[in-house]
Structure 1
Amino acid sequence: MEFEDSEGANSTSSDVRRNQTPETPTGRKQRKRKLKDPSITAEDYELWKNYDKWEAETKKIVEAVLKKLEDSNSNKPNEEDLLLTLKKKMQQLKEKCLQENIYVGVFGQTGAGKSTLLNAVFKEKSLLPTSSSGACTSAIIKVQSYEGRKFKAEIEFLSEQNWNDELKLLVELCGKEDSDDEVDDEDDMEVETAKNKLQTVYGSSGPEKSYEELVKMNIYQNIPKSGKKILREDNAEELSRKLDPYIRSQPCQTSKIYWPIVKSISVYIPYCQILPEGVVLIDFPGLGDSNKTRSEMWKTNLMNCSSVWIVSAICRAVNEKIVHEIFGTSIKSATNGGRCHDVAFICTKTDDIEEQEYARDYRLTNEEMNLTDDNDLLEYDGKQKQSCIRHRNKHVKETMKKQYEEKWTKLMTKGSTQLEFSKDDLCVYTVSAKQYWKLEQKEPSNIFAETEIPSLRKHIIDLYMKERKKVLNIYVSEVWGMLLLLISLNQNKQNEILKSRFNTINKAFQMSLEDFNEHLEDICRSLQDHLKHGVREAEKKSGQVIQQHIEPRGGRNYQGFHKTLKAICRNDGVFNSAKFGPIDINHDLSKPLHQKIDHFSDSTLQFNKGRRHSMEGRFNSIKLSLTNIIDEPLPTKSTAENAWVWKCRKDFMKTEINGLFYDLKKQITERKQHFYNAPSLSVQCSMKPAYEEATRKKGAGVLPFMKKILKEHVEEKHEEFFKDARDNAMEQFNDMKEKLKKEIHGRMTITLELGFSQWSGHNPLPDFQKEFDQITLIWNEVKDLSDSD
């Protein structure tokens, strides 16, 4: 198979919607292509159209205002500065992105039917390759709609250096020179996984070759220099066929197979009439990966997911261990700075049932199954199967809902942690893609009754609409506030009322800012105390933690464990073992610090609470204080003109304050990830010399030497590197703290300057009344929608 550096190969997947290519037409014609699907209610459809309309019209108003300002000028220095500030504000509003991607993470074991599920959700039966046989990519697959004309896939490869690093690990796993086993580990899962990758990329003799021999084969000579490959096809089936070598190995596949060196794949559906542009469904291959680059990408993408889907075949869903693991991982991610709003359990293959056996086990009577002697054999079997399916669906839903609500409660109580969503946001869906396609072709009116694929689409759309409304509300209000300011600026005399008001409000703001800064310093000291306790606990437990990691899991005499430990060291302490599951020595060593951060975050950084000492409570206090002062009535002697000007200015300042604190919350959510990750990353850095030394050990009997190196390094250095971990976490928090101070001071200062500014020059500013009237109509509609909730 030949590679070609396709046009636009250097663009990232998140930029596709914004960086238009020749095949991605711009303009409002594309916006008219809206969803037409049974899962979209008439109300949602109308609201959807309104969101698009309000956004487009508001952006158009902003562009018109900016054009007028750019055509304006003044000869007075102070007015030139004011004009420049106004232009800058409008330029920021013009460039503001209102449709950030919303990510839905899809997890589940191979064979659970994830690809089949995604194909059904997107109503493209042949989009993602599906197979019951097996080996599959380690890469993350993202699926989304876009405004192009063709089905497209963007394949990103591991860098040559990243692959060579993994190659060393794979060769060592397959090698025998450091083996002290009495028998070959042919059944060892780690070895089999390594062999599979080497055979896939280098042929059947790959596992027998040395690292140097494999590097000389230079497989990257056929990989585009950009590191990306673009595929474009007219239909989903042809794209799926061409994607095969990058996703999996097929028994009869004759073309070159590349999936082991693929980092991620982004699939784009043109003119999708099912789900909105900007919603990205991410198919996660498993709980981490042996490659450090993919593993880091896995964690980052999970952190950004607004929703998590846990997929399992219905026959195993209630008791499947992997479901519990994924749920725990998802909750852990959400507590550690993630953006998860809800978790959905999706039970697939609901039509796969032995109805007679099921009816016997659950003692279902003919009456309960609505069966009569009048039914012929075919009708009898069909009704019995449908009754059993519905009974099992209901039973599994109730069982899983109860089970995970209890698990949720235990997790929350144990960790004393609160999330941005509750256990009421845990949903269970029972679906059959096979049944969906049958009904979609023959009986579309029964799709809702017989399958929950449309319900999943509705689930996504509700998530999207909720976020879209929130963002649009803030944006339209900011534009409306700016127009209020602009139409009130053309005053040809100095307004004394504004001058006196400025002194009062500026004084109140400065006091609020001082209180806020003092609050930040207080919580900084609180965090320092939390982390000090965390350091002491980590020091006490470090010996026990490293001992648990350097011994075979489960206390068994597992002869191949030295290979697993070598793989862990090769990957700097992090490895997704096929036999033992995800392993992260760095996180486990620093776990006491993470727990202290959790406790600190629960009382300080969560935004589902407005407690006085939390960040949310402090933001609310500042907003309330400033709003109350702004709302104080003018003196009774004020003229009607003064009253009108002041109403414009105070409404402008209120919208700016709301926009400021909305943006600050977003920044905190984004930066929390760095803060949470700091301790384990710091411990990883401190442990790196030991990992590297252990990796270099070769020959028979290597396991005791590796164990000794790791154990002695922790014993000798633990005080030093836990304090470094504390300092790195504090550095990240201090960085966030200083940026918050700078942001709130800078933006509030500009807000007050603009709110009390005057334009007294001989050349009046342009007339913005038309634009103000237009934005007022939009704002009233958007505000009414929010007020009705």
Structure 2
Amino acid sequence: MDNKYFRDIPEFRMSKIKILESDSAEGLSEEFVRYTRSESNETEEVKRWYWPLVKCVTVKVPDNDFLDHVTLVDLPGNGDTNTSRDQMWKEFVASCSTVWIVTAMNRAASEKEAWEILEDASSLLGNGGECQQIHFICTKLDHEKPDDINKVKNAVMKEFKKQNQIKDHFSEDCFKVFTVSSKEFLKGENVNPDHNEILKLKEILKNLNDAHSETSNYVSGAYGILSLIQGAKSREVLEQTNDVRADLEGNLSIQLNQVKKAIEDIIKAFEQGLREGVEKSPNLCERKLKSFLYPSKMSGGAFHQTLKFAVGNGGIQKPNKGKRKDLNMILASCLTERIDEKFRDTFPNDLKCGNFNGAIDAFSLSTDSLIEKYKNVKLQLTFLQTEEKKMKTKLNKIILTQKKLIYNSLTDTIRNNMKGCYKEAAAFKGTGTLKNMRDTIERHVESKMDMFEEAKNAMLKQLNDLKETVLRTLKETMKESIEHSLKTEACSLPDVSEHLEVVKKHYDELHDGQDEKNNHTGNS
């Protein structure tokens, strides 16, 4: 590559990030337009466009409390023909906690492309992701009447109820419809909240801000450490150490067994569902494969290029408009369809519902009752309470990451088994290419029916690995915390009683506020 073509972006040749800065949003927009658009009506001074080389653009807005701890991501609806950008698309989609689909009001319910995109991405957002809410945002309602607006919202909700594949991953409570008007919003204080719901969307963004939980976790940790330090100064603890330890270790053993049984019962249920999927895969697979290879609404000549692109792209079709199709996911659906509902219940994206049917959240050393029994050890047990909470937060994050890998393992196993087939099919040229590609794929799938058994075993192994991780984390973390809590170091530790009192006040305020918020959310 000649350096003269990259004078403006020397970072490209060094695989570095290019940083653009400006004092205004308008100025920054002018700076990076050539990196984000394929064409423009800008001045002739903009002569060279670099968007095909760009993988990602990150815009940081300083001193904006509104977007603190919140990242807004603008993604192409059905992925990207560029492989690296498409991989990033998948990663971002799977990491979104809320998805907004924006479409014009006059075609919101009938917007075929929007529903197809949502259907195709549903598994990446739901069981294979961490999305909690889907918001359908209808724009351009400046001249609409309130009755018409309500009709549109009802029509969109009615259409959602027809989307069975989407509903495998999301309940109706997760789906909401909003209407917005830019002209109405610019009126400022005179905005009609029933006519224009931008203010509601802003409130949703505020609620996405995770600053409260971050602060709560920090204060909780400080409260626990200060309780431990102050409690370790007490000589009265020595007299009760053995009794407290025995009760704590007994409770730990009981709780570990309960968590283990709950997870093992869930794994057995998954095994049964997957086994049924494997048994039915020959017939199901044949129908699904035929639908992919012989689309009813496309002629052979037109489909030739579509299939040619798919086999050269790992089995994924990416039309310019409409639904992308992933043959690997289509084949894997023989298994995923048998476990989708169970998976959603076991690993809800809304962590308030509790992983493993609430088994992790239910885990407790019963420190509240022990505080009543051993009042002199209250501070040490308070430390254990905060450690228990911290451990659950850590575990839930681990589970959220692992559950995406576990769910996607079914498709990944199928994809690995299909790689050779795609490579062989992509090599065909000339007359009869379409037939040869179809025959190659059909023969390969027919000869590799054991890949469904392999996919089942891969998922079960990962589920069992997660079980071991959960049990090991619970046991090791809490045993270590118990040891720390019952140590006494009266001579070497400072008196932190005043600091403890201040932090406890903040701790109580934060938790009272969170309880009130949860009650409000539950009643709304």
TM-score relative to the length of structure 2? 0.88
Of 482, 495, 502, the residue aligned with 1:767 is: 495
Contact residue 93 and residue 124 of structure 2 kept, 8 A:
yes
Aligned equivalent of 2:484: 754
Of 176, 188, 204, the residue aligned with 1:427 is: 176
1:608/1:577 CA distance change after superposition, 3 Å? closer
Q: Runs of 5+ in structure 1 lacking a partner?
A: 7-222, 352-388, 635-642
Aligned equivalent of 2:219: 476
Deviation at 1:593, TM superposition (A): 1.3
Give the distance between the partners of 2:27 and 2:300, measured in 1 at CA: 46
1:286 paired with 2:77, answer: yes
1:269 paired with 2:61, answer: yes
1:402 paired with 2:154, answer: yes
Give the distance between the partners of 2:56 and 2:36, measured in 1 at CA: 10
Q: Runs of 5+ in structure 2 lacking a partner?
A: 1-5, 518-524
Contact residue 607 and residue 615 of structure 1 kept, 8 A:
no
1:348 paired with 2:139, answer: yes
Give the distance between the partners of 2:331 and 2:52, measured in 1 at CA: 31
1:691 paired with 2:434, answer: no
Of 257, 263, 268, the residue aligned with 1:525 is: 268
Deviation at 1:663, TM superposition (A): 2.5
Map residues 170-319 of structure 1 onto 2, 5 A cutoff: 223-250=12-39, 254-272=46-64, 275-319=66-110
1:711 paired with 2:502, answer: no
Of 196, 202, 220, the residue aligned with 1:457 is: 202
1:628/1:618 CA distance change after superposition, 3 Å? farther
Amino acid at match of 2:358: G
Aligned equivalent of 2:359: 618
Deviation at 1:299, TM superposition (A): 1.9
Deviation at 1:236, TM superposition (A): 1.9
Give the distance between the partners of 2:61 and 2:167, measured in 1 at CA: 42
Map residues 351-750 of structure 1 onto 2, 5 A cutoff: 351=142, 389-391=143-145, 394-396=147-149, 398-409=150-161, 419=170, 423-434=172-183, 436=185, 439=186, 443-447=187-191, 451-464=196-209, 467-492=210-235, 495-551=238-294, 553-578=295-320, 581-606=323-348, 615-623=356-364, 626-627=366-367, 629-634=369-374, 643=375, 645-719=376-450, 721-750=451-480
Aligned residue for 1:267, secondary structure, equals: coil
Aligned equivalent of 1:144: none
Contact residue 539 and residue 722 of structure 1 kept, 8 A:
no
1:232/1:734 CA distance change after superposition, 3 Å? same
Give the distance between the partners of 1:263 and 1:342, measured in 2 at CA: 27
1:270/1:547 CA distance change after superposition, 3 Å? same
Give the distance between the partners of 1:404 and 1:423, measured in 2 at CA: 12
Aligned residue for 2:35, secondary structure, equals: helix
Matched residues, number? 508
Deviation at 1:695, TM superposition (A): 0.9
Give the distance between the partners of 2:463 and 2:303, measured in 1 at CA: 39
1:783 paired with 2:511, answer: yes
- The one-character-per-residue Cα deviations of 1:42-98 (angstroms, maximum 9, x if unpaired) are xxxxxxxxxxxxxxxxxxxxxxxxxxxxxxxxxxxxxxxxxxxxxxxxxxxxxxxxx
Aligned equivalent of 1:142: none
Give the distance between the partners of 2:169 and 2:427, measured in 1 at CA: 44
Contact residue 538 and residue 590 of structure 1 kept, 8 A:
no
Q: Which moved more, 1:588-597 or 1:330-339?
A: 330-339
More helix by share: 2
Aligned residue for 2:448, secondary structure, equals: helix
1:754/1:686 CA distance change after superposition, 3 Å? same
Aligned residue for 2:419, secondary structure, equals: helix
Deviation at 1:227, TM superposition (A): 4.4
1:242/1:678 CA distance change after superposition, 3 Å? same
- The one-character-per-residue Cα deviations of 1:720-776 (angstroms, maximum 9, x if unpaired) are x1122112222322232222122111111122112222225xx42123234313312
Deviation at 1:316, TM superposition (A): 1.6
1:425/1:734 CA distance change after superposition, 3 Å? closer
Give the distance between the partners of 2:223 and 2:362, measured in 1 at CA: 24
Could you say which structure has the larger radius of gyration? 1
Q: Which moved more, 1:587-596 or 1:313-322?
A: 313-322
Amino acid at match of 2:511: K
Deviation at 1:245, TM superposition (A): 2.0
TM-score relative to the length of structure 1? 0.60
Give the distance between the partners of 2:442 and 2:334, measured in 1 at CA: 19
Contact residue 132 and residue 349 of structure 2 kept, 8 A:
no
Amino acid at match of 1:622: F
Aligned residue for 1:703, secondary structure, equals: helix
Identity %: 28
Give the distance between the partners of 2:250 and 2:278, measured in 1 at CA: 42
1:545/1:390 CA distance change after superposition, 3 Å? closer
Amino acid at match of 1:297: M
Q: How big is the alpha-carbon RMSD for the aligned residues of Structure 1 and Structure 2? A: 2.9
Aligned residue for 1:343, secondary structure, equals: strand
1:426/1:394 CA distance change after superposition, 3 Å? farther
Amino acid at match of 2:218: Y
Amino acid at match of 2:188: P
Amino acid at match of 1:529: Q
Amino acid at match of 1:788: E
Aligned residue for 1:241, secondary structure, equals: helix
1:395/1:326 CA distance change after superposition, 3 Å? farther
Give the distance between the partners of 1:325 and 1:669, measured in 2 at CA: 26
Deviation at 1:677, TM superposition (A): 0.6
Contact residue 505 and residue 629 of structure 1 kept, 8 A:
no
Amino acid at match of 1:266: T
Amino acid at match of 1:225: M
Deviation at 1:407, TM superposition (A): 4.7
Aligned residue for 2:61, secondary structure, equals: strand
Contact residue 542 and residue 718 of structure 1 kept, 8 A:
no
Contact residue 477 and residue 779 of structure 1 kept, 8 A:
yes
Give the distance between the partners of 1:235 and 1:334, measured in 2 at CA: 34
Give the distance between the partners of 1:611 and 1:451, measured in 2 at CA: 32
Contact residue 400 and residue 428 of structure 1 kept, 8 A:
no
1:541/1:423 CA distance change after superposition, 3 Å? closer
Aligned equivalent of 2:521: none
Give the distance between the partners of 2:420 and 2:254, measured in 1 at CA: 50
1:403/1:743 CA distance change after superposition, 3 Å? farther
